[in-house]
Amino acid sequence: MECYEQSRQRAAFVVLLLIVMLGSQAQAQLRTDFYSDSCPSLLPTVRRVVQREVAKERRIAASLLRLFFHDCFVNGCDASILLDDTRSFLGEKTAGPNNNSVRGYEVIDAIKSRVERLCPGVVSCADILAITARDSVLLMGGRGWSVKLGRRDSITASFSTANSGVLPPPTSTLDNLINLFRANGLSPRDMVALSGAHTIGQARCVTFRSRIYNSTNIDLSFALSRRRSCPAATGSGDNNAAILDLRTPEKFDGSYFMQLVNHRGLLTSDQVLFNGGSTDSIVVSYSRSVQAFYRDFVAAMIKMGDISPLTGSNGQIRRSCRRPN
């Protein structure tokens, strides 16, 4: 019996080792120069479109960054979020965390169309999402990074997975956030750094109503100012938007963390990062050093981009980001 149990443990260890090795191999196939020969003009082509769209609407930068996050947290960075519903599957666009919330699909379509004219059948939608996220940060004044490329696109999407709680809601507790990010190989420090993306963008009244009317760990003047455009009654002004970072809403900087220290986080999931818990010291360090925030944010974005990519012969290079080939 003891020998049998040892054999089972060895077998389980081998399986775990294979999973880790396969994941590492997939990540190893991603590299920053993946398209240097097959589509050398890819990066400036994407940048031009993003630059044009951000010039028209500054908010779209935050939307494009969020689009990448919502893609990677549902079965990996495979552009599944971009797929429209088909007869064989219900896509992720209408799942609770995405419906009437995630934006920027048309920008990705415009980029894909331009890239397809230059390099047909070469560049994946998943990689376009990764590049677009980086460019959005850079164009809002943040630090850039070399994007690892070589992902391929999924041929299906999962409404049920997107709805299963893998995407943290705006009412998340700190433990919930830590666990959700850890499930994707991201540390609490990564989680706090990535939350700093809320230094740009907006949120709808329905996502922060409870906080501004019911929370005690909130600056009163801040709560009162937010209530002006977010009535207490459910269904009244639900879609009214408020900026997440009052001080520098159109600049990718460390102001978001200063807001948290002053109990001016708009979402519950923002303020739990600084509320007497294990991440307080990280928030304080970022509020004092924007360079520390930039460094950790870039590292966390690269790690997030490594979540379960499809590489090699897995998946496909979609001709349209909205449907499988």
Choosing from 66, 70, 151, 211, the catalytic residue is 70
> CA 273, CA 257: separation in Å to the nearest integer?
9
Q: Is 94 annotated as a binding residue?
A: no
For the beta carbon of residue 242, count every other beta carbon within 10 angstroms: 19
Q: Is 248 annotated as a binding residue?
A: yes
> CA 6, CA 2: separation in Å to the nearest integer?
6
Q: Is 84 annotated as a binding residue?
A: no
Q: Is 137 annotated as a binding residue?
A: no
Instruction: Measure CA of the first residue to CA of the last residue in the chain; give whole Å.
Output: 52
263 is a catalytic site residue: no
Q: What share of the chain is helix, strand, coil (3-state, %, to 5)?
A: 50, 5, 45
Q: Is 253 annotated as a binding residue?
A: yes
- CA 295 to chain centroid: 17
Q: Is 198 annotated as a binding residue?
A: yes
Q: Is 135 annotated as a binding residue?
A: no
Contact predicate 219/263, CB 8 Å: yes
User: Which letter does DSSP use for residue 151 in this model?
Assistant: -
Q: Is 265 annotated as a binding residue?
A: no
User: Which letter does DSSP use for residue 241 in this model?
Assistant: E
Detail the residues annotated as belonging to a binding site: 71, 74, 76, 78, 80, 92, 168, 198-199, 245, 248, 253
Detail the residues annotated as belonging to a binding site for substrate: 168
Active site residues: 70
